[in-house]
Structure 1
Amino acid sequence: MNRRKFLKGSALLSGLFTLNPVDFFANGVKEIPDPKNKAKNIIFMISDGMSSGTLAMANLYSQNILGKNGNWMSLYLENKVSRALMDTASASSIVTDSAAASSSFGGGYRVRNGVLNIGANGEKHIPVWQKFKKAGKKTGCVTTVTITHATPAGFCVNSDSRNAENEIAEMYAEIGFDVMMGGGDEFFNPLKRKDKKDVYSLCQQKGYQILKSKADLNKAEKGKKVLGIFNSGALPYSIDRKNIPELQQTPSLAEMAQTAIDQMKDHKEGFVLQIEGGKVDWAAHANDISALIHDQLAFDEAIKTVIDFAEKDQNTLVIITTDHGNANPGTIYGPDATQNFNSISNYKFTNEYILNAIHSDFNLQQIKDWIYETNTISLADDEAKHLLSFYSGLERQEGGIYNYKKLPFKAYSEIQKKHNSVGWISMDHSGDYVEVAVYGPGRELLPPFIKNTDLHYLMLKAGQI
């Protein structure tokens, strides 16, 4: 079949999404040509909330500070992948949330923001990992946020609300996915759930082994289902885990990915695995450049883990993308732009950690000393006064989706911008087109421009189910 039918007029119709994001596509696997070779395994990698500027800055940091190209960019440079731009709209908006975005991949249809694989009239779209499980494959998800969060859930379950994480945890146990790892102890632990339900016990009754720390990864029993819950809430940001000893018992995304692959790779029918760098999105919401770059680099290390396996295996389709942009960060022109950007290598912690450590009883010298110690930034008196005002109640405390303590993220990122030449357009998602890279059997199915739902059918066609 002509590859143009895969697009089904997307190039002509994409402009209409700005007015009404109606589903113009066929939502059918028949529109995609047959692959040259069947993919036994599929690994779908999502750097959540990764604007193109995030990818560019992480690679620039890798080149300038670490002395090497990133793994994602190396796939482009070595021409190992097919590459596309992707439209990320949801059924209700040109700007998607993570639930609708994951549902586009997972269920093959665009749904309203906030729901998981539920159509406008209540129809339930079967999630893709359930389809592959029924076909005999092992199934799994690993993430740096809660395992019940929107992105892993969109590949696995149907729900009227992405926030129903207690219920999503129970659904996972009932359906029986083979490997599930991330954060979210509060959704499994009877001591933290309002209903006191022990979902850990329910999972153990279903045959799961429970992993609670990085050390447990090496003890995982092969052939037995795995539930790895390594934190209450999300996992720590990568740079904080590196520099704060008490956080180092939590695994990296690459370490979780390796364990998930090792647990499922010998299954005769193959496996499917979603890998999410979820805190890239959280860092963008906070305009936190240190958190953003280091978690994107952690995602990049997971890419190496996956590609190393796929190159040896030769039967694994790897899809690397994001679900949407967020905050559209980028470097700003100026005579000292390079030097300013490189100064980010002096940042020892996330802004979240730095700002949490400031208290209302700090004087100006204390706050100036703390910022210099952690970011090597010398605050002017007026900058120190402005930052301190947020803690003494003189300024309105700032919001942000994952800013539960109302920290002055925006104010501090504006101060940092003068020193690191990085700017942000907002503290929320954006509707820009995003990158897609595809490696392995089925890469030839990817045209230069696609709609997010197309990846659902590409997976089904590549896996021939």
Structure 2
Amino acid sequence: MNRRKFLKGSALLSGLLTLNPGDFFASNVQGAPDPKKKAKNIIFMISDGMSSGTLAMANLYSQNILGKNGNWMNLYHDNRVSRALMDTASASSIVTDSAAASSSFGGGFRVKNGVLNVGANGEKYIPVWQKFKKAGKKTGCVTTVTITHATPAGFCINSDSRNAENEIAEMYAEIGFDVMMGGGDEFFNPLKRKDKKDVYDLYKQKGYQILKNKNDLKNTEKGKKILGVFNSGALPYSIDRTHIPELQTTPSLAEMAQTAIDQMKDHKEGFVLQLEGGKVDWAAHANDIAALIHDQLAFDEAVKTAVDFAEKDGNTMVIITTDHGNANPGTIYGAEATKNFDSIASYRYTNEYILNAIHPDFNLQQMKDWIYETNKISLADDEAQHLLSFYSGLEKQEAGLYNYKKLPFKAYSDIQKKHNSVGWISMDHSGDYVEVAVFGPGKELLPAFIKNTDLHYLMLKAAQI
């Protein structure tokens, strides 16, 4: 054997194996032929943290409990979209966070986890909504988490840290996006900011109308920019909004989407709009099946809102995807799997709400009664005692992203698993390939396998920017 050739070949192979899988297979969207028809408008939809199991279970629930197929699945069933798998890696890991993922879409380059459109050497990649704004289009973002969160921010601004939400709130106003709606009152309200700055006033000075509740959506002034902030922190989970009257002043994703579309649809140069189901990701982090399914279904209602408009309009591209998987939930084989899964229809609240309502002074029977009332699950004594032990300090309190109160999410989802046949691999993001669907003009630009960055260039090519 020629040792020099062998070593040279080994070195080459070693170098290849350090690349992300998508680097081998991704198609070059930039080199594709121009679209058959130019997209005047683009609606980019992200169900944040949606593993393929989440999509499947939400559709199964819709079929079994609601008696209908989901809107996203109907697009596949009727062959109305182009469909692809997407590699979601970041520059620093095969498993991305939402900041790097959104930056891939927004800036067209992979960046390290935690930053927004800033390269390893400080390069600032121009966010895609700024490119479209410069081209004369109206621009907007709508989310069920804070409007300053990583996913909307990745389409809009550059920042060394996704956590700089106070600064991001001010950046939006300076740039002048047309419609921004979600949660995050603490980043705008002078009574909640440490620096006491009145960021709402900054927006008012720039001519924005400020929306604070669902009723305000009905009274928007056409042609005037919108800042809608409907809650401190994220918006409520969909299933809790349904069953808790005081939460019903906050709008759904579909309701916000409709207002955003109506506000921008008559602009002669068109518009671009990002719609994010952000709490799908939070539900996956919590292994909270009721929260997960119902927020995915709420996202699916927004899919209908977007596609109905696009179908009627004829000039709108709709991209439907996720930024990464999370927790990889799925149904588990067993004789009672269908019956167990269908029992989720009896869940009236999120695990977050249920576990928050438990107090250290609960006795065993109170614990069992509360779980039966909210989930129709009859706890065994040892299960009830195990849950109580977290509140009396006997068990180590659980950590986890978006689990500030150290609630026993995993312990409870493990109990639920015995009754609903749903399992989870973790409480964090995963690096699996994810779904992409494209409807409308330019859908033929989507190859069967892409990198996340390719969607940046697909949007630009579709709109001929």
State how 1:135-284 maps to structure 2 within 5 Å. 135-284=135-284
Cα distance in 2, alignment partners of residues 46 and 452 from structure 1: 12
1:337 aligns with 2:337: yes
2: distance between equivalents of 1:278 and 1:17? 35
Q: 1:377 matched to which residue of 2? A: 377
The structural deviation recorded for 1:400 is 1.3
Task: Letter of the 2:179 partner, please give it.
Answer: V
Given that residues 141 and 179 in structure 1 are in contact (C-alpha distance below 8 angstroms), is that contact kept between their aligned partners in structure 2? yes
1:114-125 mapped onto 2 (5 Å cutoff): 114-125=114-125
AA matched with 1:234: A
User: What residue number does 1:107 align with?
Assistant: 107
Structure 2 unaligned regions, length at least 5: 1-11
**Is residue 21–residue 87 contact of structure 2 (8 Å, CA) maintained in 1?**
no
Contact kept, 8 Å, 1:184 with 1:233, in 2: the verdict is yes
What is the Cα deviation at residue 262 of structure 1? 0.1
SS in 2 for 1:334: coil
Q: Which residue of 1 aligns with 2:348?
A: 348
Correspondence list, 1:288-303, <5 A:
288-303=288-303
**3-state SS of 1:358 partner:** coil
Q: Distance in 1 between matches of 2:15 and 2:87?
A: 12
Aligned residue in 1 for 2:134: 134
The aligned counterpart of 1:59 is: 59
1:16 and 1:343 map into 2 onto residues whose CA distance is 50
Q: Is the 8 A contact 2:29 2:446 kept in 1?
A: no
- Provide the residue aligned with 2:404 in structure 1: 404
Q: Could you tell me how far apart the structure 2 residues matched to 1:240 and 1:92 are? A: 36
The answer to whether the 8 Å contact 2:128/2:156 transfers is yes
In the alignment, residue 113 of structure 1 is paired with which amino acid?
N
Task: List per-residue Cα deviations over 1:92-112 (Å, max 9, x = no partner).
Answer: 000000000000000000000
Residues 27 and 450 of structure 2 are in contact (CA less than 8 Å); yes or no, is this contact kept in structure 1?
A: no
CA distance in 1, matches of 2:435, 2:419: 29
Describe the superposition over 1:352-377 as per-residue Cα deviations: whole angstroms up to 9, x where unpaired: 00000000000000000000000000
Aligned pair 1:359/2:359, yes or no?
Answer: yes
**CA positional deviation for 1:61:** 0.1
Between the aligned partners of 2:369 and 2:288, the Cα distance in structure 1 is 20
- Structure 1, residues 213-268: CA drift from partner, whole Å, max 9, x if none? 00000001011000000000000000000000000000000000000000000000
Is the CA contact (8 Å cut-off) linking 1:50 and 1:325 kept in structure 2? yes
Does structure 2 retain, via aligned residues, the 8 Å contact 1:27–1:108? no
Cα distance per residue 1:424-459 (max 9 Å; x no partner): 000000000000000000000001110000000000
Q: Following the alignment from structure 2 to structure 1, what is the Cα–Cα distance between the partners of residues 227 and 300?
A: 24
Distance 1:42 1:278 in 2: 19
Distance 2:433 2:23 in 1: 18
The question of whether the paired residues in 2 share the 8 Å contact of 1:23 and 1:91 is answered with no
How far did residue 31 of structure 1 move?
Answer: 2.0
Shift in Å, 1:188: 0.4
One-letter identity of the residue aligned with 1:367: M
Q: Secondary structure at the match of 2:219?
A: coil
Q: Which amino acid aligns with 1:74?
A: N
| Residue identity in the other structure for 1:226 | I
* Residue identity opposite 2:146 in structure 1: T
2:432 is matched with 432
Q: Distance in 2 between matches of 1:146 and 1:326?
A: 19
Deviation at 1:29, TM superposition (A): 6.5
Aligned residue type for 2:275? I
Q: Is the 8 A contact 2:27 2:449 kept in 1?
A: no
- RMSD (Å), alpha carbons: 1.6
Alpha-carbon offset, residue 308 of structure 1: 0.6
- Is residue 320 from structure 1 mapped to residue 320 from structure 2 by the alignment? yes
Counterpart amino acid of residue 136 in structure 1 = G
Change (3 A) 1:393 1:226: same
Question: Contact 1:287 / 1:410 at 8 angstroms: preserved in 2?
Answer: yes
Distance 1:226 1:73 in 2: 32
Q: Aligned pair in 2 of structure 1 residues 173, 17: CA closer, same or farther (>3 Å)?
A: farther
Give a deviation string over 1:392-439, Cα, whole Å, max 9, x none.
000000011000100000000000000000000000000000000000
Secondary structure of 2:283's counterpart equals: helix
Matched, 1:392 2:407: no
Q: Identify the residue that residue 68 of structure 1 maps to in structure 2.
A: 68
Question: What do residues 130-189 of structure 1 show as CA deviations (whole Å, max 9, x unaligned)?
Answer: 000000000000000000000000000000000000000000000000000000000000
Quote the offset at 1:27 in angstroms: 11
In 1: Cα distance, 2:18 partner to 2:313 partner: 45
Counterpart amino acid of residue 21 in structure 1: N
Tell me the residue number matched to 2:444: 444
The answer to whether the 8 Å contact 2:27/2:447 transfers is no
Runs of 4+ deviating beyond 3 Å? 15-30
1:32 Cα deviation (Å)? 2.8
Return the alpha-carbon distance in structure 2 between the equivalents of residues 16 and 423 of structure 1. Answer: 37
Return the alpha-carbon distance in structure 1 between the equivalents of residues 413 and 345 of structure 2.
Answer: 16
Tell me by how many angstroms 1:24 deviates.
4.7
Percent identity at matched positions? Answer: 86
Q: TM-score, normalised by structure 2?
A: 0.95
In 1, the alpha carbon distance for the partners of 2:333 and 2:318 equals: 35
* CA spacing shift, 1:21–1:67, aligned 2, 3 Å: same
1:21-100 pair list within 5 angstroms: 21=20, 24=23, 30-100=30-100
Change (3 A) 1:341 1:314: same
- Consecutive unaligned residues in structure 1, runs of 5 or more: 1-12
Q: Look up the SS of the partner of 1:60 in the other structure.
A: helix
* Matched AA of 2:157: V
Instruction: Look up the equivalent residue of 1:19 and give its one-letter code.
Output: T
